[in-house]
């Protein structure tokens, strides 16, 4: 009989350890379920009914929801809001936008107001100081008094809708998880001032030229005149060296630390006459180029009430539709990029730092005392000084310590004045023809934009619109001017009726891509720095040589990857590099470059070689001369480099190139550095190199850089993508190859079907990472796959906001 072995009793300590582990596992599972349930609670309600009356706070112009409002989210997450009156419409827009984008709205108003440090600590302190100094919120306060009752009613209704959602979410413990992660226990009420401040921030993001003025000022005070002038966007007619007679203002001390928008926050837009289309009606296309992030800077929505039937996009936090269409018209914009920011040198009194010289007399500047709250630290008392021309910005990092400086710089900027862009937006939403639309533009002052327009009556039109100062001479806009001289005050702007305008041109289309929009005969100065002409030239080529155009053609053009910069410069470079003693890899790379079809497609090696070559040309020319901070102020550097290369290739003597050994030496050194970098990253086999290995789009969430949160907020890895900064399919990348700037919204419509438009909003419509519409358009953005939004006959999930 076999011996039966008895099991040994489990060691008591091990037994209890297993029990404890089991309990911990159960606790963790329960905790995860609780956290999951909490996170999911904050998903927007998309079906059923919502009683909001108890959460509505009455204001001077909004006393509460008077009728039920239907909100239908279509298959792409776009809310279609149908209301019986305008006030209820804007209340619902505020409520629904807060459902989808409340955290983004909170961060946006804090960024624009200089209040980020309160939640993120001193890492945002310099940024807050800059925006407190610039005074976007103060400018918004000035603007409120200019608005009519109708616009204020829309603002107050919208704010009431946002606040109703905040109060409801707070009571029901349904606030977005980002607020908990950021330690934001309370959310202040939304106000009309918040909406207008966000509008002012977009003016900041889209416009000005003070950085280039400061860079030119640095050049003329630190380099020989001939070298300095070579890097100016245009050669001044008269010597400007007398600017250095005053005490020099060191732009590297503070100004170079200012947060500045990406170079050429621009766009493409065009409208095509029915004479050139298959439908016989106009086509319109628009794709604004801004920062690419999660969530999108744009919020797509459709508004329907007795006075509004409009569809398009708006910044989260602002009522109305800023870009899009209604049943009669469609419109889109690009950035004009005019000289609307002027730096002034200001003479400060030796004994009183708040007094400045003007017209041979000393005057007392306005002093604004601010308190900046900083998370985890004591609050900071901060002083802003405003001269006759505007705030002193040359010492924003340490204004008190810098008071001993006898010369400082202030900034005069049209957006810091009272403006009424939202009135213009609401009028545009209701316009039915070009005359009404152009009349609405009279209230759109900042930022200055190139508007293109199309309507069902067959009209296409273009207008460069905005408040643009009149300079006595264009050279004045190249450098800071003397603030003590009243002759330098910019007191007039280009009359509205004399702004560049074109209606129904004979060529059959209008379009812009931040290019130079005026001829030499135009009587006013607009800008010294325009975007390189490559995008517009390609748009013009495409539209000019084709007829019977369709919406699909417009989409094809928006995704076009032809690199005209490469088409011009590759032959030059291959000639200059033709007789070198190159390695096998370098020779293969040169052959690849020479055979390239100039398409910036992600599977090709040509775009990678060309991009890295040009980047290293810039480094060879300027790395020793300028710090990284200074280079960030060299706006339009690409345009300048192009011109230096052209002149040198044509045999002219170019100082910046000659002192580096001549053009061939510069290009060869840059090529060698580019090859070394590419080989290090991707190996020596050129057939393995691809643009998409380096050039990849990533819509980063603001919390993704914190610990492990990218796992939640950015589940998708960077994706290889076509295009470049100079192609119509705009896709600009940072030094790591990450595409973080480009077509933030793509839109195409045919006026034969004015109640529908085709859109892409990357990465998606929603701000909640558990939403099906959070990042569902990333692939669409990469591949150019549009969704159609219908203004009538749409279907989807519907919920009602109940008046009672």
Q: How many Cβ atoms from other residues are within 10 Å of residue 13's Cβ?
A: 8
Residue 254 DSSP SS3:
coil
pLDDT, one tens digit per residue, over 158-201 is 999 999 999 999 999 999 999 998 888 889 999 999 999 999 99
Within a domain: residue 168?
yes
DSSP 78: -
Torsion angle of the four alpha carbons 631, 729, 545, 312, in this order, in degrees rounded to the nearest 10: -110
| 727 inside domain | no
Per-residue pLDDT band for 247 (boundaries 50, 70, 90) equals confident
Domain stop point among 142, 171, 193: 193
Q: For position 297, what pLDDT does the model report?
A: 96
Final residue belonging to a domain, choices 689, 720, 752 = 689
Predicted confidence band of residue 5 (pLDDT cuts 50, 70, 90) = very low
Q: Residue 309: pLDDT above 80? A: yes
Q: What ranges make up the beta strands (E) of 401-500?
A: 407-413, 449-455, 460-465, 481-482
Task: Specify the DSSP element, H or E, that contains 645.
Answer: helix 637-649
Q: What are 571's two structure tokens?
A: 């032959």
Q: What tens digit of pLDDT does each residue of 448-479 get?
A: 999 999 999 999 999 999 999 999 999 999 99
pLDDT number for residue 403: 67
Residue 771 and residue 764: Cα distance in Å, rounded?
Answer: 10
Flag whether pLDDT at 119 surpasses 70: yes
Q: What is the number of alpha carbons within 13 Å of residue 738 lying toward its C-beta?
A: 10
**DSSP string covering 401-415:** GGGG-SEEEEEEEGG
pLDDT at 27 over 70: no
Q: Could you tell me the pLDDT band of residue 255, with boundaries at 50, 70 and 90?
A: confident
The CATH number that applies at residue 104 is 1.10.439.10
Task: Look at residue 349 and tell me whether its pLDDT is greater than 70.
Answer: yes
Give the H/E segment covering residue 747.
strand 746-750
Which range has the worst mean pLDDT, 117-126, 368-377, 394-403, 471-480?
A: 394-403
- pLDDT at 246 > cutoff 70: no
- Maximum mean pLDDT: which of 223-237, 244-258, 529-543: 529-543
Mean pLDDT of 385-405: 85
Give the closest residue to 636 by CA, choosing from 252, 269, 337: 337
Looking at the predicted structure, is the pLDDT value of residue 557 above 50? yes
Distance of CA 212 to CAs 216, 260, 668, Å? 6, 11, 29
148 in helix, strand or coil? coil
Residues 69-77, mean pLDDT to the nearest whole number: 96
Name the band, by pLDDT with cuts 50, 70 and 90, for residue 235. low
615 pLDDT exceeds 70?
A: yes
Distance (Å, whole) CA 744 – CA 292: 6
Residue 616: which domain range? 564-598+605-689
**Based on the number of CB atoms within 10 Å of its own CB, is 361 exposed (0-12), middle (13-18) or buried (19 or more)?**
exposed
Give residue-wise pLDDT tens across range 710-744.
Answer: 888 888 899 999 999 999 999 999 999 999 999 99
Please give the average per-residue pLDDT across 132-146, as a whole number.
97
SS3 of 287, please? strand
Q: What is the mean pLDDT of residues 327-337?
A: 96
Q: Can you tell me the distance from the alpha carbon of 334 to that of 464, in angstroms, rounded to the nearest whole number?
A: 9
Q: What is the mean pLDDT of residues 525-533?
A: 92
Strand 341-347 relative to strand 481-482, pairing: parallel
Q: What angle do CA 299, 446, 733 make, to 5 degrees?
A: 55
pLDDT surpassing 50 at residue 4: no
Residue 216 tokens, joined = 């030119």
Tokens of 542: 């495409």
Q: What is the pLDDT of residues 772-804, one digit of tens each?
A: 999 999 999 999 999 999 999 898 999 999 997
- The answer to whether residue 524 sits within a structural domain is no
| Residue 472 within a domain | no
The rounded distance, in Å, linking the Cα atoms of 192 and 142 is 12
Whether residue 111 is contained in a domain is answered as yes
pLDDT for 208 equals 67
Please give the Cα distance from 553 to 560 (Å, whole number).
10
What's the pTM? Answer: 0.93
DSSP for 586-639 reads HHHHHHHHHH--SB--TT-SHHHHHHHHHHHHHHHHHTTTS-HHHHHT-TTHHH
Is residue 141 in some structural domain? yes
- Choose the final residue of a domain: 642, 657, 689: 689
Euclidean distance between CA atoms 321 and 765, whole angstroms:
15
Cβ burial, residue 613 (10 Å; 0-12/13-18/19+): buried
Q: What is the CB neighbour count within 10 angstroms for residue 9? A: 7
| Mean pLDDT, all residues of the chain | 92
pLDDT band (50, 70, 90) for residue 627: very high
Parallel, antiparallel or unpaired: strands 355-358 and 756-760: unpaired
Domain assignment present for residue 62? The answer is: yes
What does the block give as tokens for 89?
């419409």
Measuring CA to CA, how many Å separate 647 from each of 230, 479, 607, 658? 11, 24, 24, 12
For residues 565-594, give the mean pLDDT: 96
Residues 6+ apart with CB under 8 A from 515: 530, 531, 533, 535, 536, 537
Cβ 765 vs Cβ 99: under 8 Å:
no
Q: In this predicted structure, what is the pLDDT of residue 242?
A: 40
Q: Is the distance from CB of 602 to CB of 722 less than 8 angstroms?
A: yes
Give the count of domains, the chain: 2
What is the C-alpha to C-alpha distance for residues 149 and 86, in angstroms, rounded to an integer? 13
Q: Is residue 554 part of a domain?
A: no
Please check the confidence at residue 523 and state whether its pLDDT lies above 50: yes
Q: Are 140 and 200 in contact (CB under 8 A)?
A: yes
H or E stretch including 572? Answer: helix 564-576
Q: What is the pLDDT, as a whole number, of residue 248?
A: 84
């Amino acid at each position: 009989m076999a011996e039966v072995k008895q099991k040994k009793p489990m060691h008591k300590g091990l037994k209890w350890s297993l029990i404890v582990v089991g309990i911990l596992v159960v606790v963790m599972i329960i905790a995860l379920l609780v956290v999951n349930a909490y996170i999911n609670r904050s998903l927007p309600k998309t079906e059923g009914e919502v009683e909001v009356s108890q959460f509505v706070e009455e204001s001077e112009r909004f006393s509460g929801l008077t009728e039920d409002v239907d909100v239908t989210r279509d298959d792409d997450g776009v809310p279609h809001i149908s209301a019986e009156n305008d006030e209820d419409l804007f209340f619902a827009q505020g409520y629904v936008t807060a459902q989808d984008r409340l955290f983004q709205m909170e961060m946006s108003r804090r960024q624009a107001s200089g209040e980020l440090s309160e939640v993120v600590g001193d890492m945002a302190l310099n940024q807050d100081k800059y925006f407190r100094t610039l005074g976007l919120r103060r400018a918004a306060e000035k603007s409120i008094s200019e608005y009519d009752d109708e616009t204020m009613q829309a603002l107050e209704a919208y704010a009431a809708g946002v606040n109703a959602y905040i109060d409801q979410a707070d009571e029901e413990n349904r606030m977005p998880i980002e607020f908990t992660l950021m330690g934001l226990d309370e959310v202040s009420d939304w106000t009309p001032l918040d909406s207008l401040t966000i509008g002012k921030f977009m003016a900041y993001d889209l416009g000005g030229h003070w950085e280039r003025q400061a860079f030119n000022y640095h050049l003329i005070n630190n380099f020989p005149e001939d070298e300095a002038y070579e890097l100016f966007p245009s050669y001044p007619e008269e010597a400007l060296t007398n600017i250095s007679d005053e005490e020099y203002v060191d732009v590297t001390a503070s100004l170079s630390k200012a947060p500045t928008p990406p170079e050429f926050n621009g766009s493409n837009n065009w409208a095509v006459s029915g004479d050139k289309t298959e439908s016989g009606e106009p086509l319109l296309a628009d794709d604004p180029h801004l920062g690419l992030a999660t969530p999108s800077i744009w919020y797509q929505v459709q508004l329907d009430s007795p006075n509004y039937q409009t569809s398009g996009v708006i910044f989260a936090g602002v009522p109305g539709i800023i870009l899009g269409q209604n049943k009669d018209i469609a419109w889109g914009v690009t950035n004009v990029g005019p000289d609307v920011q002027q730096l002034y040198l200001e003479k400060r009194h030796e004994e009183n730092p708040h007094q400045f010289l003007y017209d041979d007399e000393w005057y007392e500047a306005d002093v604004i005392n601010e308190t900046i709250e900083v998370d985890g630290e004591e609050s900071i008392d901060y002083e802003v000084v405003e001269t006759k021309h505007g705030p002193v910005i040359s010492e924003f990092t340490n204004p008190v310590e810098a008071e001993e400086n006898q010369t400082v710089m202030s900034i005069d900027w049209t957006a810091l004045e009272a403006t009424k862009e939202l009135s213009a937006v609401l009028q545009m939403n209701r316009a039915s023809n070009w005359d009404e639309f152009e009349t609405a533009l009279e209230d759109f002052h900042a930022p200055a934009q190139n508007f293109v327009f199309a309507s069902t009556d067959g009209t296409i039109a273009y207008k460069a619109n905005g408040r643009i100062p009149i300079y006595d001479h264009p050279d004045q806009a190249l450098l800071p001017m003397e603030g003590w001289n009243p002759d330098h005050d910019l007191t007039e702007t280009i009359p509205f009726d004399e702004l560049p305008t074109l209606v129904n041109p004979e060529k059959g289309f209008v379009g812009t891509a931040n290019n130079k929009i005026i001829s030499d005969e135009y009587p006013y100065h607009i800008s010294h720095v325009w975007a390189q002409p490559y995008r517009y030239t390609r748009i013009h080529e495409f539209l000019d040589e084709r007829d019977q155009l369709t919406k699909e053609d417009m989409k094809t053009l928006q995704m076009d990857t032809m690199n005209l910069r490469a088409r011009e410069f590759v032959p030059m470079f291959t000639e200059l590099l033709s007789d070198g003693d190159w390695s096998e890899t370098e020779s293969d790379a040169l052959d690849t470059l020479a055979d390239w079809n100039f398409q910036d497609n992600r599977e090709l090696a040509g775009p990678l070689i060309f991009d890295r070559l040009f980047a290293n040309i810039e480094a060879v020319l300027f790395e020793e001369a300028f710090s990284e901070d200074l280079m960030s102020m060299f706006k339009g550097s690409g345009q300048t480099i192009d011109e230096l290369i052209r002149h040198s290739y044509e045999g002219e003597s170019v100082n910046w190139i000659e002192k580096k050994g001549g053009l061939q030496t510069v290009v060869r050194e840059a090529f060698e550095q580019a090859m070394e970098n590419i080989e290090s990253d991707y190996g020596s086999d050129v057939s393995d190199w691809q643009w998409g290995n380096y050039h990849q789009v990533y819509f980063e969430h603001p919390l993704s850089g914190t610990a492990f949160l990218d796992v939640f907020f950015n589940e998708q890895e960077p994706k290889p993508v076509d295009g470049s900064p100079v192609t119509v399919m705009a896709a600009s990348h940072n030094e790591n190859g990450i595409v973080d700037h480009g077509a933030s919204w793509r839109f195409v419509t045919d006026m034969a079907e004015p109640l529908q438009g085709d859109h892409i909003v990357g990465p998606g419509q929603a701000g909640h990472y558990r939403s099906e519409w959070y990042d569902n358009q990333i692939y669409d953005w990469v591949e150019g796959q549009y969704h159609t939004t219908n203004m009538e006959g749409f279907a989807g999930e519907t919920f009602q906001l109940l008046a009672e």
